[in-house]
Amino acid sequence: MTTTPLLLITADPSHPLAHLALRYARAYLKSASADHNIDSHADDIVNKEDIDNPITKRPLLNVFFYGDSAHLANRLRWQSADQMNLTKEWQMLAEQYQLPLPVCVSTALSRGVSDTDNSTRHQLDGDNLATGFTLVGLSELALMMQDGCRLIQF
């Protein structure tokens, strides 16, 4: 059994490491999904129930946004036309591979990024969490780090 890599993204969206993280995720997911498709055809013959059961499926890649990377989850973040919009690129990648996009709730809130629940709880004027991103506690990161994961920080 192979471990699912974990990308811990901490770089601000303007930093080259934020762009490198996206490129790495794309390349890894493309390669892993090709390998998974080959493996899943063999598994179809052996145990089709496990493949169809979303609970037993493991993600191809775990991603966690922490620190300054929480800015990526801001749906109001403007990007000039001559630069890549990392928020939209992560959203498209997440949709293509059914990839969760968890963001540390504390670092997000401290950077002005909030969902509806936290805006209500903390009496903020509105929410601005981009579609596809979710605010989570650090316990989510701890769960991803179980079982000797391969951690890669950008």
Q: Active-site residues: which are they? A: 104
The amino acid that residue 150 corresponds to is: R
CA distances from 133 to 56, 82, 91, 128 (A): 22, 24, 8, 11
CA distances from 72 to 25, 60, 126 (A): 15, 21, 17
Q: What is the 8-class DSSP label of residue 132?
A: T
Beta carbons within 10 angstroms of residue 21's beta carbon: 25
* Contact indicator for 149, 64 with CB cutoff of 8 Å: no
The amino acid that residue 49 corresponds to is: E
Q: Which residue has the tokens 């974990």?
A: 6
